[in-house]
Structure 1
Amino acid sequence: MFSSHDLELVARSFVADVDYHPELGSTNDRALELARCESVPHPLLVLAARQSRGRGRGTNQWWAADGALTFSVLFDCQDFSLPQFLLPQLSLWTGLAVRDALEDVCEAEDASAAFTVKWPNDIYLDGRKVCGVLSESVSTYPGRVVVGIGINVNNRFANSSEPVPEDLQITAASLREVVGRELSVVDVLCTVLDQLQRRWIECASGVTDLQAAWKPHCYLRGRRVTWQTAQAEFIGTCQGLNEDGALVLEENGVCHVCVGGTIVHVQ
């Protein structure tokens, strides 16, 4: 649960308003609902102490037990002077922002952790997923975007008091497991919001090269990757991103540029 003092701290960030719920099915669904209202204040933070039906990309679900941080930010491109043609890069910049924030949080706790970003925006630590991001556009207002973020902060995947899906016991990790003690979820949220503002401004201004910013933190670089769409599949070794943020896979000297689609297997 977030106290009134916690919400006051969050409100000091770049958001214009906070829509808080002790429990919510999906923060993205709530944000998309609010986004259809012309007069909704934005940027708007939709925050849930607990989320019961979180969504990931495609048909994926986001499992969030007590101690997880789940929220969505609804904003308009004009809030950050962001040209709409740069929207496809927004997820990438969001992933970098969260990665930076989680590293800051761990450094503040005297814990060293090398977080990486799996294209387009999942955050990994030692091969285990710590955070997922889901960006969605608003059909009725083309300039509006909802960015949903789920971070494993204090939830446990081993020795948990709640039943944990078997696959997550192997593939997921939390900040608590890294630091060795419980963290302030509101401090994590405020740090993430600060980095989101910084990276989204960078995206809009073009002052930072996306390729260069991504390269040292690329989880897939040098790995054999299977990329898939409804129409095609390609297997190759990841070379990183091109200048537009598309994933580049190489096989037998031929490079394939992957736009959209899903990574279905990593070696």
Structure 2
Amino acid sequence: MTTKDRVLQLLKQSNATLSGEKIAQELAISRTAVWKAIKELEKVGYTFDHLKTGYRYLPQDRLDDIAIAAGLPDLAVATKATSESTMKDAKLAQVSGIKAPFLVVADMQTAAHGRFNRPFFAQKGEGIYMSLLLTPNQSFAELPQYTVLAAVAVCQAIEKLTTRKPQIKWVNDIYLEGRKICGILSEAQSDFESGIISHVIIGMGLNFAIAQKDFPNDLQQKATSLFAEGGTPPFERNQLINEIWRHFFDLLAQLPQQDFLTEYRKRSFVLGQTVSFTQGGKTYSGIAKDITNEGQLVVTTPQKTFTLNSGEISLSSIGE
């Protein structure tokens, strides 16, 4: 960690004003080094109060790879001002030989998309756009259900930091009060001869603090954000990102004992609802009865009971 990073972390962790002398003592550096570090941080956009008694960090929602990785010692993090696609960034990292787990987070994503290449609305500085590269080196049958795990982790993180109660639309969307706030996409790369899954990338787009009025007209009733009412959120995006992956890796570490599907099912707003879907060119409507241990959705229709795979089917309506 560089001197300026250490100074930044110390100031962020303190609610009090810290003198240059106090910072120098805490970090075992010179007061001149402290002054230079503050200047370097201000050049890249950080702001501080300069008071007679010292320096005070002014809260600001800037992506910070150190804050994101805090408490996750095996996770390498890279932050970017703009990305066409963090999924592409993660794929390039894999080709370049960057060690996993590796997380890339962007302040803005210009070509965001979800399942079936559907576009995802993004807003600079007000959303979370990130992708995690993993190297499971397991067969497909042994592979954890990463999308399901990530959905549970997002819900748990939001529940820990807020009073909100997010729900999951099978299989990969997070909703608040009937509107989408987050989409999750997982892609795997396998070795054809061995059948081993060598790399998995989990992409995520989460509307953090986009004001409701800023969503396009066609999304006003379909999408929202965690803090859509405006004003300053009570915590930074860095904290939520950290919590999401902390919960994700905790869930992953507890497999196979962890009953994450129970956590997934109890947050589902699909189960018990009438859903519609299209299969083989024909549209069906029925009641969503269960989610199997393999993450498939069981739907009972007048014709028969279907077991739907998420990679093949998308629900066209719910509750109609």
**TM-score band w.r.t. shorter chain:** 0.7 to 0.9
Counterparts in 2 of 1:17 and 1:209: CA distance versus 1, 3 Å: closer
Counterparts in 2 of 1:33 and 1:225: CA distance versus 1, 3 Å: same
Find the counterpart in structure 1 of residue 94 from structure 2. Answer: 35
Between structures 1 and 2, the one with greater strand share: 1
Structure 2 distance, partners of 1:84, 1:129, is: 29
Amino acid aligned to 1:126 = E
Counterparts in 2 of 1:16 and 1:194: CA distance versus 1, 3 Å: closer
Secondary structure, aligned partner of 1:50: coil
Gaps of 5+ in 1: 107-111
Secondary structure, aligned partner of 2:315: strand
1:49 corresponds to which of 104, 107, 116:
107
After the TM superposition, which residues 1-267 of structure 1 pair with which residues of structure 2 at under 5 Å, given as runs?
Answer: 6-12=64-70, 13-37=72-96, 39-66=97-124, 67-77=126-136, 84-87=140-143, 89-106=145-162, 112-139=163-190, 142-158=197-213, 160=214, 164-177=215-228, 181-182=232-233, 183-202=235-254, 205-229=255-279, 233-252=283-302, 254-260=304-310, 261-267=313-319
In the TM superposition, residue 230 of structure 1 has moved relative to its aligned partner by: 5.9
In the TM superposition, residue 142 of structure 1 has moved relative to its aligned partner by: 2.8
TM-score normalised according to structure 2 size: 0.71
Amino acid aligned to 2:296 = A
Gaps of 5+ in 2: 1-43, 47-61
Structure 2 distance, partners of 1:5, 1:128, is: 26
In the TM superposition, residue 91 of structure 1 has moved relative to its aligned partner by: 0.9
CA contact (8 A) 1:35 1:138 kept: no
Secondary structure, aligned partner of 1:101: helix
Secondary structure, aligned partner of 2:168: strand
CA contact (8 A) 1:128 1:171 kept: yes
Secondary structure, aligned partner of 2:116: coil
**Which of the pair has the greater relative contact order for Cα pairs under 8 Å at 6+ separation?**
1
CA contact (8 A) 1:220 1:238 kept: yes
Find the counterpart in structure 2 of residue 109 from structure 1. Answer: none
RMSD: 2.6
CA contact (8 A) 1:2 1:49 kept: no
CA contact (8 A) 2:104 2:130 kept: yes
Greater radius of gyration (CA): 2
Structure 2 distance, partners of 1:218, 1:17, is: 32
Counterparts in 2 of 1:5 and 1:219: CA distance versus 1, 3 Å: closer
CA contact (8 A) 1:210 1:243 kept: no
